[in-house]
Structure 1
Amino acid sequence: MLLKQLIELYDILDSSTASGAAVKDYLCGVNENADVTVYELKGARGKTDMIRIRVSGTNGKSAGKDAPTMGILGRLGGLGARPERLGFVSDGDGALVALAVAAKLLDMQKKGDYLDGDVVISTHICPNAPTQPHKPVAFMGSPVDMAQVNKEEVNGELDAILSVDTTKGNRIINHRGFAVSPTVKEGYILKVSDDLLDLMQITTGKHPQVFALSLQDITPYGNDVYHLNSILQPSTATDAPVVGVAITTETAVPGCATGASHITDLEEAARFMLEAAKAFGRGECRLYDEEEYGRLRKLYGSMKRFQTLDGKEAQ
């Protein structure tokens, strides 16, 4: 259970003075050996605190071994929309869930339970982000550009990525809880991971929920085409497989709405990602079929042009 971590972190993040430093202090209080990095990132519309937590595995790369590294990225524009809205907004759920997973992993290590592979958790802390128009409901904006965040969060050390984001402002998903996306890799939308579906069934005790993707959703922001939201933006900046973990509702809820976070939904999503990280480091959870992906590449070539703004691959 991650209810404790979610409640404690919510109390820190639901504040006009929420900061990366406050979150770091909390995580170091959970485990004094926590590896937490916080720094300021400035954009055209303001600034935010980037936070990155590395939880080392017994057979992970940080130990000089070869267990794969899972990245868990909390996607959001901001935790709050002050002064327009007072309080924690729905859009902040991604950061809250990712940080709760980090806190749980650090607590597990303090109690003697270590995963096989490294897990890297990253998000940003901004209590006063702008809003922006979007149909059917308003989006949260961000003080920094998506490309800036991708550059900070996505790098070659991550062998797979789970991107968790509030995904309520649409009519694509009509289920309250969370849903996963098909795996996205280098411009290809691949089949849904059976291993993740198995874990979703186990952790929720219900049938798994999968949300639809369009090709537009896996292209970079800034190309003037429709995007469901930013949940698959990490896929534009990496060769690693990326799966979106969407916090969902039955009705369309604005990202800038306050009072719209459901702790039981957040806990289910966090627990699912924790189990996925455990299994991935052990080599028991594949996000895609490497052999089939190789055949797709052989038959249809590279799709990396969909990771670019202009449709042109780097030579």
Structure 2
Amino acid sequence: MLKSLLEAIDILESKDPLSKIREKVKGIKYEEKNFGEVTYLKAYYGNGGKKRVEILGRLGAIQMKDSKGLVSDADGAIVSLALILELINLKDKGITFDVDVSVVTNISLNAKLIPHKPFNFMIPLIDFNDALKEEVDPNADLILSIDSTKGNRLAKYDDFAITHVIKDGYILKLEDEVIDIYNRVTGHEVYMVPLTTGDLLPLDFNVYHISTLISPWLYTDSPVIGLATVSKQVVPGYVTGVLNMEMLEHTSRFCLEILKYVEKEGKIYNEEELKEIEEKLGKSNLIRVKRGST
């Protein structure tokens, strides 16, 4: 995984990353969509697997205008690109997965800054909801949403942190086996992102969001797990020189191990718990704020 990670960073730091990516993904289904300065890339692995998992790299941009090098916000693009490169590398070695994978991220050299404390959010140079529509794979059975979340005062760890499952407006506990994967990959106890109700609301609600990590749930009926690249320091998304290689490798490897787990029909959350909640309380009121569904 480390080799693929280093290759992803090398590609994204180049003057023309898209041409290099196109060369690397020959042989698998791949498409690009341009929205002005924003280019979304979508790479697809597999053909008729048991399940479909989306690896979604969320970010405003990999670089900022006049910056030199990858910014902190680029983590989602780095991890998602590293994952597809690793899948291609394993396929070349004869190692394949009976699970379909869609990898989605954007490759942009500038982003919008919107008000947020302690530092402004970076979002793509298109309408935020349009970005989410483009990012969410409607055919995915599970979405792993990866987003740099260093500009906050709550999730302050020295490795990536994870959310519980977001499904149908409820926050549901991760299955213990998923936490076990996290423990094995990182070598330490699980680091959780402390979510509030505000985090599940659209960004146009004037409430605190730790990041836009789990916003994709607004456009899918499938479960979403947030993977937040964080730091002990409060770091703006638009600064350079803060890539944490160990954290990025752990995040990438966690995604790969989740694919193996899903291939073996492992459960992400307890479906009976959601059924119990809905039978006793009804559908979540947060369903009303959804902007789209499968």
Q: 1:49 aligns with which of 23, 39, 42?
A: 39
The verdict on how the C-alpha distance between 1:110 and 1:255 changes in structure 2, with shifts beyond 3 A counting, is same
Q: 1:166 aligns with which of 131, 148, 162?
A: 148
SS of the equivalent of 1:177 reads coil
TM-score of the two chains, using structure 2 as the length reference: 0.93
The verdict on how the C-alpha distance between 1:88 and 1:82 changes in structure 2, with shifts beyond 3 A counting, is same
The letter for the 2-side match of 1:103 is L
User: What whole-Å deviation, never above 9, does each CA across 1:207-248 have from its counterpart, x for those lacking one?
Assistant: 121111001111122222221111101111111000001111
Worse overlay, 212-221 or 298-307: 298-307
- 1:3 equivalent in alignment to 2:2: yes
Per-residue deviation at 1:18?
Answer: 4.0
2:259 and 2:237 map into 1 onto residues whose CA distance is: 27
Worse overlay, 96-105 or 148-157: 148-157
SS of the equivalent of 1:20 reads helix
Q: Number of aligned pairs?
A: 293
1:309 and 1:38 map into 2 onto residues whose CA distance is: 26
2:169 and 2:42 map into 1 onto residues whose CA distance is: 26
The letter for the 2-side match of 1:156 is P
Q: 1:40 aligns with which of 34, 37, 43?
A: 34
Structure 2 portions without partners, runs of 5+: none
Per-residue deviation at 1:306?
Answer: 4.6
Paired position in structure 1 for 2:198: 216
2:203 and 2:287 map into 1 onto residues whose CA distance is: 11
2:40 and 2:80 map into 1 onto residues whose CA distance is: 13
Paired position in structure 2 for 1:138: 120
- 1:74 equivalent in alignment to 2:57: yes
Per-residue deviation at 1:196?
Answer: 1.6
Paired position in structure 1 for 2:169: 187
The verdict on how the C-alpha distance between 1:309 and 1:288 changes in structure 2, with shifts beyond 3 A counting, is closer
1:220 and 1:118 map into 2 onto residues whose CA distance is: 29
SS of the equivalent of 1:243 reads strand
SS of the equivalent of 1:261 reads coil
Paired position in structure 1 for 2:269: 288
Paired position in structure 2 for 1:14: 13
Q: 1:204 aligns with which of 157, 161, 186?
A: 186
2:123 and 2:146 map into 1 onto residues whose CA distance is: 17
1:186 and 1:268 map into 2 onto residues whose CA distance is: 28
2:288 and 2:128 map into 1 onto residues whose CA distance is: 13
2:113 and 2:135 map into 1 onto residues whose CA distance is: 22
The letter for the 2-side match of 1:34 is I
The verdict on how the C-alpha distance between 1:49 and 1:291 changes in structure 2, with shifts beyond 3 A counting, is same
- 1:125 equivalent in alignment to 2:117: no
SS of the equivalent of 2:228 reads strand
> What is the aligned-residue RMSD (CA, Å)?
1.9
The letter for the 2-side match of 1:301 is G
1:304 and 1:127 map into 2 onto residues whose CA distance is: 38
User: What whole-Å deviation, never above 9, does each CA across 1:82-128 have from its counterpart, x for those lacking one?
Assistant: 13x33210000111001101110111111111111111111110012
SS of the equivalent of 1:181 reads strand
Structure 1 portions without partners, runs of 5+: 57-61
Q: What fraction of aligned residue pairs are identical, expressed as a percent?
A: 33
**Runs ≥4 residues deviating over 3 A:** 17-22, 304-307
1:146 and 1:194 map into 2 onto residues whose CA distance is: 34
Paired position in structure 2 for 1:115: 97
1:151 and 1:138 map into 2 onto residues whose CA distance is: 22
The letter for the 2-side match of 1:4 is K
Per-residue deviation at 1:308?
Answer: 1.6
1:72 and 1:146 map into 2 onto residues whose CA distance is: 19
The letter for the 2-side match of 1:229 is S
Per-residue deviation at 1:142?
Answer: 1.8
